[in-house]
Structure 1
Amino acid sequence: MIARRGMIDEITAALGANGLILRGGFVFPDDEDAPHGTSGAPARSVLLVGQAGAAPWPHFLRWRENQPRTIADPLDNWSRQVIGAVANEFQARAVSPSDKPYLPFQQWAMRAEGLKPSPLGILVHPQYGLWHAYRGALLFEDELPIQAGEAAPHLCDSCVEKPCLKSCPVDAYSEQGFAYQSCLAHVREAGGSPCRSGGCLDRNSCPYGTEYRYPPEVQAFHMASFARATN
C-alpha cells in the first residue's frame, strides 16, 4: 500500500473512536531486522498504538458486556480486535505486546516518543507520567512520513524524593530491580488489599501526570490480572 496524504490523520480518527491514540512511530533502517508486514516482506514503518489515562475503559466495558465472562485476557482481546480492524482498513499488520515471540515494544516506544524508563520500569511520559500504555502497533511495508521522537524531558532526573521507591510495603521496587515474587505474594495475601483495590502504591505515589491516573476500578482490574499470574 502506498501511503496517501492524510492517512495518518485517518488512522488517528479510527483509533480515537475507541479511546486509543497513536504513540508515535519510525521508519526501520535498511540494515535492521524488522518484523514482517502483511505480505511477509519486512516492514518499513511502524506506528505505536496506546492510551493516555483511562480513555479506552468505557469502550472496553461496552465490548465486554457481550463477551463470555470466562474470556481470558479480555483487555488484550479487545485491543487486538480494535487495532486489528484498523490494520485491516489501512492494509497494515497488527501486532501486540503479548504476541510470542515477543517483539521489542519498549525499545520501539523509546524510539517513537523519546521516553526513558522510570525506577518502576514503566516509561515515564512528560505529560502522562506513569499513566499511559501501549496496546499494539501497526506495521506497514511502505515508508510512512514519520520520524522517531526526540528525547523527551526525563522527569525522574529532577525528582529528588523518589516516592515511587518508598511506598511499597514489601519494597518490591529498588535499584536492584523488581522483586516479582515478593510483590505477587503480597498482592495475593490479606495485607495486600489496598494494592488490590487501589493499585500499586509505588506507582500511585509518583507526583507526575496525576490528572491521567487510572480510576480505582481500572487499577483493581489490572491488579486482579496480576494476582492471577502463574509465573
Structure 2
Amino acid sequence: MIAPAGSVDRIAAALHANGLVLRGGFNFTTGNAPPTGSSGAPAAAVLLVGQAGAAPWPYFLRWRGQQPQAIANPLDTWSREVIGAVAEAFGARAVSPSDRPYLPFQQWAMRAEGLKPSPLGILMHPQYGLWHAYRGALLFEDELPIQAGETAPHLCDSCVEKPCLKSCPADAYSAQGFAYQSCLTHVRGAGGSPCRSGGCLDRNACPYGTEYRYPPEVQAFHMASFARATN
C-alpha cells in the first residue's frame, strides 16, 4: 500500500512549524531488515527529520523556558516531543539517533540524501556544509511516494587545503579517525576555552555552508553537552 500523495508535504509543514525539516527518505526494499513501525509490523518507509543551520533554536529555547532545569538532555527531549507529535498525527513511529539499540541513522541519511562523510565524520551537505543535523526519523508501515536521493557533489573531494584537519589544538581529527578522549580532555581543560565558547575549531574552519553556521551560543550549548559526557 502507498500513502496518499501530499502526505509528505503535510508532514514537512508540520515539522516546519518548529524549525525542523524533512531530510529525505526512502522505501525499504527486500533484504533491508527494517525496524518496526507503530504497530510492530516491519516498517515500509522512513523519513529523516533534521535541521538546516540553527533554525530550530528559537523554538527549542521557548520550550526550554517552560521546563524543569534538571532535564539531562533537553534538546533530545524537545526533539522527541516534536517529532513524536508529528508521528502520532500521521500514523508513524518516531525514533531518535540516541535510541538503544542504535539504529543506522547515518546509513539512512547517506541513502536518503546521497551524502558522504567529511574528514570530521559529519556528513557533508552540498548546501549546508557541516551545519546540519538529524534529530529523528519517522517510520511508516505503508510505502510513501518518495525515492532515495541521487549522490550529491562531495565538496571535500575538491577541498585541497583541508583546514578542518589543521585547526584543532589537540589534533583530535586525523586520517586515523577521531581521538575522542584527547578532544574531551582538551575541551575540559584550561586551554579549551575557545572550543567551549565558540565550538569545534576544526568544524568552524570548513569553508562550506558558512551562512548556515550555528551561532556561538548554539555551538557553546553543544560543546557543553559534549564536555559533560562520561568516559
After TM superposition, the score normalised by the length of structure 1 is 0.99
2:139 aligned residue: 139
SS of the residue 1:33 aligns to: coil
Give the aligned residue type for 2:112. A
Q: Say what the alpha-carbon RMSD is for the aligned residues.
A: 0.8
Mapping for residues 208-223 of structure 1, pairs under 5 Å: 208-223=208-223
2:66 aligned residue: 66
How far residue 2 of structure 1 moved from its aligned partner, in angstroms, is 5.7
Give the aligned residue type for 2:124. V
> 1:171-201: CA deviations, max 9, x gaps?
0000000000000000001110000000000
Q: Is the 8 A contact 2:2 2:145 kept in 1?
A: no
Q: Is the 8 A contact 2:117 2:124 kept in 1?
A: yes
Mapping for residues 121-132 of structure 1, pairs under 5 Å: 121-132=121-132
**C-alpha distance in 2 between matches for 1:5 and 1:119:** 38
2:20 aligned residue: 20
Give the aligned residue type for 2:178. F
Q: Percent identity?
A: 84
**C-alpha distance in 1 between matches for 2:2 and 2:95:** 20
> 1:115-164: CA deviations, max 9, x gaps?
00000000000000000000000000001011001100000000000000
Give the aligned residue type for 1:125. H
SS of the residue 1:18 aligns to: coil
**C-alpha distance in 1 between matches for 2:177 and 2:165:** 11
Give the aligned residue type for 1:16. H
Mapping for residues 187-206 of structure 1, pairs under 5 Å: 187-206=187-206
2:30 aligned residue: 30
Unpaired segments ≥5 residues, structure 1: none
Unpaired segments ≥5 residues, structure 2: none
SS of the residue 2:108 aligns to: helix
**C-alpha distance in 1 between matches for 2:5 and 2:148:** 19
**C-alpha distance in 2 between matches for 1:38 and 1:180:** 36
**C-alpha distance in 1 between matches for 2:4 and 2:148:** 20
Q: Is the 8 A contact 2:5 2:145 kept in 1?
A: no
Task: Determine if the alignment matches structure 1 residue 96 to structure 2 residue 112.
Answer: no
Query: Structure 1 runs of 4+ off > 4 angstroms?
Result: none
Give the aligned residue type for 1:22. L
After TM superposition, the score normalised by the length of structure 2 is 0.99
Give the aligned residue type for 2:3. A
Q: Is the 8 A contact 2:168 2:202 kept in 1?
A: yes
SS of the residue 2:10 aligns to: helix
